[in-house]
């Protein structure tokens, strides 16, 4: 997943300076890898890695491999791990479809189509509104994590060299800030969709980044978000090498 975050970040950063390039989300980043044989090989490797990570997230959620406990905070972290696992499994399926299907769907259009179907239901606006509120809650949680103490324990990298731990903690805070900002935009767009019954650019990371881009000072904000996503992806890659796995 770290590689995907880095690609999303670099795309957003370049798009902040080149209006010809559209910022994209995770599935768009996977699609960008399809252009060459080497990219397709990387895409296959990422798909396998995402499946493995989804299994690992399930282990974290069910067996508490991180030792977070059964308190409210621990339960919340385990639920978050389970949701992350499901999201990564969905991305793995999307990556495999990109490898096998000649003409992949337009991801944001597909998401907006599903959103339109939900809005067409009787309680659809309420459902979308609840989704927006939950997404804003996730954004608030990420923003809190970005500034709260205890980041080193959350990263679980006690065995890494000290200078690497310090750098990773700083990068992780930047990454959480960026992801929190993007989820806040997504939550706001979902709430607007619920209020006005429209689906334009709602519900996806790519849509949120494009919305940010065209606001006042949006190019600067998009560049900062791009740096944040690169930071987040770098942290994930470092953690893959130095994370301490607790088996009991």
Range of the domain at 163: 106-248
**Does the residue 137 lie in any domain?**
yes
**Does the residue 190 lie in any domain?**
yes
With a cut of 80, say whether residue 217 has pLDDT above it: no
**Does the residue 232 lie in any domain?**
yes
Token pair for 36: 């060459």
**Does the residue 154 lie in any domain?**
yes
With a cut of 70, say whether residue 107 has pLDDT above it: no
At 145, the pLDDT band (50, 70, 90 cuts) reads confident
For residue 171, the model assigns a pLDDT of: 92
With a cut of 60, say whether residue 95 has pLDDT above it: yes
With a cut of 60, say whether residue 110 has pLDDT above it: no
**Does the residue 205 lie in any domain?**
yes
Share of the chain above pLDDT 70, in %: 87
With a cut of 90, say whether residue 112 has pLDDT above it: no
Backbone angles phi, psi at 147, to 5 degrees: -110, -10
92 vs 223: CA distance, rounded Å: 27
Backbone CA torsion sign across 183, 11, 232, 61: positive
With a cut of 90, say whether residue 125 has pLDDT above it: no
**Does the residue 46 lie in any domain?**
no
For residue 173, the model assigns a pLDDT of: 92
Counting the structural domains of the chain, the total is 1
**Does the residue 221 lie in any domain?**
yes
**Does the residue 142 lie in any domain?**
yes
């Amino acid at each position: 997943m770290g590689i995907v975050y880095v690609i999303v970040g670099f795309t957003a950063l370049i798009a902040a300076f080149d209006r010809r390039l559209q910022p994209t989300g995770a599935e768009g980043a996977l699609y960008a890898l399809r252009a060459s044989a080497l990219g397709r090989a990387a895409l296959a490797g990422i798909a396998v890695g995402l499946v493995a990570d989804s299994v690992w997230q399930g282990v974290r959620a069910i067996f508490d491999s991180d030792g977070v406990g059964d308190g409210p905070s621990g339960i919340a972290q385990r639920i978050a791990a389970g949701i992350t696992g499901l999201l990564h499994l969905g991305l793995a399926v999307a990556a495999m479809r990109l490898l096998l299907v000649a003409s992949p769907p337009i991801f944001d259009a597909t998401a907006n189509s599903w959103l339109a179907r939900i809005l067409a239901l009787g309680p659809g606006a309420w459902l979308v509104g609840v989704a927006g509120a939950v997404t804003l809650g996730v954004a608030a949680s990420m923003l809190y994590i970005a500034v709260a103490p205890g980041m080193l324990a959350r990263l679980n990298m006690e065995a890494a060299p000290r200078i690497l731990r310090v750098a990773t903690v700083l990068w992780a805070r930047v990454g959480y800030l960026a992801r929190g900002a993007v989820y806040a935009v997504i939550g706001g767009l979902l709430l607007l969709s619920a209020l006005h019954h429209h689906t334009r650019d709602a519900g996806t990371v790519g849509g949120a980044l494009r919305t940010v881009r065209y606001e006042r000072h949006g190019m600067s904000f998009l560049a900062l978000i791009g740096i944040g996503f690169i930071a987040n992806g770098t942290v994930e890659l470092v953690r893959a090498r130095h994370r301490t796995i607790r088996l009991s």
